[in-house]
Amino acid sequence: MYLCHLPVPPLPFAPRPFPDELLLSWICRLAAANHVSQPLLFPEMQAMNHYRLNSDPGEEIVARLAAMARVPPSTLHSLLLPNQFPNLPLLSFLRVPDTANISGNKDTASFPLPFCSECAGEEECLQQSLYWRAESGLLTTTLCPRHGAYFDDACPGCNRGQLTLAWDHARLIVRCLRCNWRPVPRQKGCPVPSYPSGLRQLISRLQCDLIAALRGHPPNSFWCGEISAVQFLRVVDDLYWLLRTPGLSAHCGQLFTFTDGFSWTRLRSDSWSFFARISDLPFSAWDRTSRAEMLLAMAAAMLGTRAFEILGNSPHFPAPTAFYPWDWILPSLNRPYAQELLNRAAHWPSRLRFSVSIAAGVAIMPIPLEDYSTI
């Protein structure tokens, strides 16, 4: 960090962080309050992956930021994702990527935070400072947690990436440099469609329960019945292994992941397969659409045939049975991986374990009598 040995410049204005704020959100407010761009104020952070910045930017950066803004380092530590989400280590794919895999922010010129025009409009109406809550920094958050809208980097007015953050009367605001667009508060009687349907509904519900479980709260029983936060996160982590790892299928080669097999949930219309897009990149380097597709595949695996109703369609081939998707995954797994799946599924809740057992033709683990009522 080439600037860390220089004296820490004092900042004239230093807004206090909100207790549930994302670190990058506070840094953007700090820069805007002092009327400088974030790259100018913190050049060393431009080379840092956003996820790493919000999870663990390192002691030097935290100490430097704390000194610049005259806040205790402990206040900034409390903003870091592992401190806002104590169960974060349970999801292996949300760990900070290895240094070798950390890329800088390719979009240095574009908007630095996930943008929701509904959120910006609400803050505009209330004359409050816009800020991003910690959950918007989780890689599993692909939609606005409050409105279920797709995050965007482009201006809703001119569809170009020239949105900018500015400071106005002690609060952060968003404006477009190109067309002067400003967020518009919704009219009374024209409520925000807060409950999306179909694909977005599933993504929204799953990311919402992941946020709850990462905080230590049990997820909705909708997924797998009544289970604890820890058990839910273990199932999700196992599904990540199953659905993301290439080469598990005995028939489809090394360039296939089981997420590719959920082609009926595809969000993209181009011909790029899921694996062609993600290759061997860590989750933190995937585009937002690919991360959302992974959530959809996980949701469909947990819900089985119940997913068809919500999504409004179902796969054509192979014709799904009552034990979908295990009816096509299990027979196509290479034998060692099938054993690995059975070992993992032994710790899953009864409803999921039952489907896997039937599809595998083996009893993975006795199911307690009282659990049959929930299957």
147 or 291, CB closer to Zn ion? Answer: 147
Q: Two tokens at 352?
A: 């999921």
End-to-end CA distance of the chain: 55
144 binds Zn ion (CB under 5 A): yes
Based on CB atoms, which residue is closest to Zn ion, 176 or 227?
A: 176
Under rule CB under 5 A, residue 158 binds Zn ion: yes
Report CA-CA distances (Å) from 106 to 10, 43, 67.
29, 14, 28
Beta strands in 25-155 (DSSP E): none
Of 146, 215, 268, 277, which lies in the binding site for Zn ion, with binding defined by CB under 5 A?
A: 146
118 contributes a contact to Zn ion by CB under 5 A: yes
DSSP single-letter state for residue 171: S
Q: Which is nearer to Zn ion, 4 or 166 (CB)?
A: 166
| In the complex, least distance from residue 301 CB atom to Zn ion, rounded to whole angstroms | 28
Does 67 engage in binding with Zn ion (CB under 5 A)? no
Q: Which residues contact 1 (CB under 8 A, 6 or more apart)?
A: 44, 60, 61
Q: How far apart are CA 45 and CA 105, in angstroms?
A: 9
Side chain identity at residue 343, one-letter code: N
Distance CA 230, CA 25 (A): 28
Find the shortest distance in angstroms from Cβ 153 to Zn ion. Answer: 12
- State the nearest-atom distance from the C-beta of 284 to Zn ion, in Å: 22
Report how far residue 300's alpha carbon sits from residue 281's, in angstroms, rounded to the nearest whole number: 23
Beta strand 163-167 with 172-176 is antiparallel
Q: Which stretch binds Zn ion (CB under 5 A): 31-39, 67-75, 95-103, 157-165?
A: 157-165
Of 77-116, binders to Zn ion (CB under 5 A) are 116
- C-alpha separations of 185 from 147, 148, 197 in Å: 14, 17, 23
Q: Give counts: helices (H), strands (E), the chain.
A: 16, 2
Nearest approach in angstroms of CB 217 to Zn ion is: 21
Which residues in the 168-187 window bind Zn ion by CB under 5 A? 176, 178-179, 181
Cβ 24 to Zn ion shortest distance, Å: 17
Based on the shown chain and the rule CB under 5 A, indicate whether residue 236 belongs to the binding site for Zn ion: no
Residue 145 binds to Zn ion (criterion: CB under 5 A):
no
Q: Does the footprint of Zn ion cover residue 192 (CB under 5 A)?
A: no
Interface with Zn ion includes 122 (CB under 5 A)?
no
Q: Is residue 157 within the footprint of Zn ion (CB under 5 A)?
A: yes
> Which residues of the shown chain bind Zn ion in the complex (CB under 5 A)?
116, 118-119, 144, 146-147, 155, 157-158, 176, 178-179, 181
